[in-house]
Structure 1
Amino acid sequence: MQEKLPAMQTNILTEVFLPISLAIIMLGMGLGLTWDDFARIVKFPKSVAAGLVNQLLLLPLVGLLIVSTIPITKELAVGLMVLAACPGGVTSNLITHLSRGNTALSITLTAITSVITIFTIPFIVNFSLDFFMGKEANIELPVGKTMIQIFGVTLVPVAIGMFIRKKASAFAEKADRPVRIFSAVIFALIVLAAILKERQNLPEYFRTAGLAALLLNLATMALGWFSGAITGIPYEDKISIVIESGIQNGTLGIMITATLLENPAMTVAPALYSLIMFMTGGLLIIGFSRKRQLAEA
């Protein structure tokens, strides 16, 4: 755990464009939301409960288990715990749609966890800082300030998007899919730009954090499938929970580590996780889509 890792450098990308891009992504989410999406907890009570338990409780616990057993640096351990504390993002909704899962359930889980994690993220992150770094951290995530900042770049844009949808539903419906795809592209470009800037250190990043990030992604997806199986929920709901459990809001994780914690080394883990989840997400789309095509043939 003592090995030193070359740090990603904070720059205008992470300090300016990243928060702005996150706000645009969340605005796009809002364009596709209505108050009925929050009320779907009544329609899918068992599925929503399974998804929330996975994301809010089991995901951080699995993350803690992995980073406590895999030999990685303390900064990377905290970075992965930040990622594990984050909610799902619009990318999970898009992947669920392309995988033919229950998109309404995916949107509902993303919307609810985006609200709840405003309150849980500061406490999980501060616990991780204390647990892995102790007095060495010299940093602490201010609870009130963090809640306000996350609220400002997540829920405020979502609320604006929902307002636009309510006042101009035809425009919102036309813009929903293009903005959703555009949001995914923005996210991918941010992650790739951050990684490419540090391309000389990329082999070292993967060597030290790649295994832990991959295990977290695969373990939480497997957990999503298992929880769906034991609760007996419909197949489409299982797909949604698998994706919501394993596709996190990497943009938010990078923003927290880069701009709130101001620790470039911690940014490596959520950035690598984001690259990995795009690859595994693509495999899920192919696998679930083919299985549905075979079932319909």
Structure 2
Amino acid sequence: MQANSIATDFMMVALGIIMLGLGLSLTVADFKRVIVYPRAVIVGLVCQMFLLPAACALIAHAFGLPPELAVGLMLLAASPGGATANLFSHLARGDVALNITLTAVNSALTLITLPLIINLSMTHFMGEGRAVPMQFGKVLQVFAIVLGPVSLGMFIRSKRPSVALKLDKPIRLLSVAFLAALIAAAVYKDRANVGTYFQQVGSAALAFNLASMAVGYLVPLALRLPRKQAVAIGMEIGIHNGLLAMTIAMSPTLLANPTMAMPAAIYSLIMYFTAAAFGFFVTRGNAEAQDSSAVSPTPNSTPEKVS
């Protein structure tokens, strides 16, 4: 019982640290910016909340994932992006302001969409009656754990920007430490089956990662959004908050299922390499496009007259 209580406290602290770090990077202006980028925000949210869960469910079926691993992959699909997506978007010359706005809006909507997707996934993959009852107390608990630290972080950012700046690096390091600890804990708890899990869900996690970035990048381009915004949406959708997904999966007061954390653990190891490759691809594409436009004559240009 004592070990279970310590695990619960650790998960709540980890989740609180993640959300505090997110709040320190947000301002009220990030939510107001929806007015500036209404079309891009709508496209990003539709990709995140509708296309991505559908693609994830298809991938889970295509790879024949066991029910708990399928739900774990869906939990990852329901998790928003975060600061890492903003960093990769910056390196790939994406629209970072759009990234921050999408993170802000999606994180707020997650309070509704994440429990909904989890319950639908558990009902679909694990059968009727396996969904988590959405008791008011549990919803209120998640609301307080998620929104409380975010609000605190935003308050510190607005009132004491210098303090927020000083806290940013330690909070990021703590988040990385928590991620490493949760991956290690998930692997240790299911150490007898880790090799099997990697075989079962490794390819599916990679396929979902590539599909996420493809949907996030190609759909905005097809809808004629600027390339910078397509890069931003691709990074936002392709880089999920694996730490949040693992915390929810392993927390004794939430799902309490280490097996469901395995897809997020494997995905978290994969996504940095694929995001770097994606960033290199789109950056190179931008450079080639700029070079070709620089050397191509304009339609109205006329040959220089030779005297």
User: Under TM normalisation by the shorter chain, which class is it?
Assistant: 0.7 to 0.9
Max radius of gyration: which structure? 2
Question: How many residues of Structure 1 are paired with residues of Structure 2 in the alignment?
Answer: 286
Structure with more contact order per residue of length (Cα contacts < 8 Å, sep ≥ 6): 1
Give the 3 Å change call, closer, same or farther, for CA 226–156 of structure 1 in structure 2: same
Aligned: 1:45 with 2:45: no
TM-score normalised according to structure 1 size: 0.85
Residue matched to 2:237: 245
Change in 2 beyond 3 A, CA 1:206/1:167: same
Return the offset for 1:53: 0.4
Query: Structure 2 length normalisation: TM-score?
Result: 0.83
> Residue in 2 aligned with 1:5?
none
Which residue, 58, 75, 78 being the options, matches 1:85?
78
- SS of 1:182's equivalent? helix
Deviation at 1:143, TM superposition (A): 5.0
Distance 1:158 1:38, change over 3 A: same
Structure 1 stretches of at least 4 aligned residues deviating more than 6 Å after TM superposition: 10-13, 293-297
**The residue matched to 1:40 in structure 2 has which SS?**
helix
Same amino acid, percent of matched pairs:
41
| 2:298 counterpart residue number | none
Alignment match of 2:177 (pick from 176, 179, 186): 186
Alignment of 1:117-266 (within 5 A): 117-135=110-128, 137=130, 140-176=132-168, 178-179=169-170, 181-182=172-173, 185-186=176-177, 188-194=179-185, 196-197=187-188, 201-259=193-251, 260-266=254-260
- Judge which range, 191-200 or 81-90, deviates more: 191-200
Q: Compared with structure 1, are the counterparts of its residues 179 and 241 closer, same or farther at alpha carbon in structure 2 (3 Å cutoff)?
A: farther
- CA deviations 1:139-195 (Å, max 9, x no partner) are 62435344323323322111101111111123324544x256425523542354235
8 Å Cα contact 2:186-2:258 kept in structure 1: no
Equivalent residues of 1:14, 1:255 under 8 A apart: no
Which of 270, 273, 297 is the aligned partner of 1:276? 270
Cα 1:18–1:284 change in 2 (3 A) is farther
RMSD over aligned Cα, in angstroms?
Answer: 2.6
AA at the equivalent of 1:261: L
Unaligned runs of 5+ in 2: 292-307
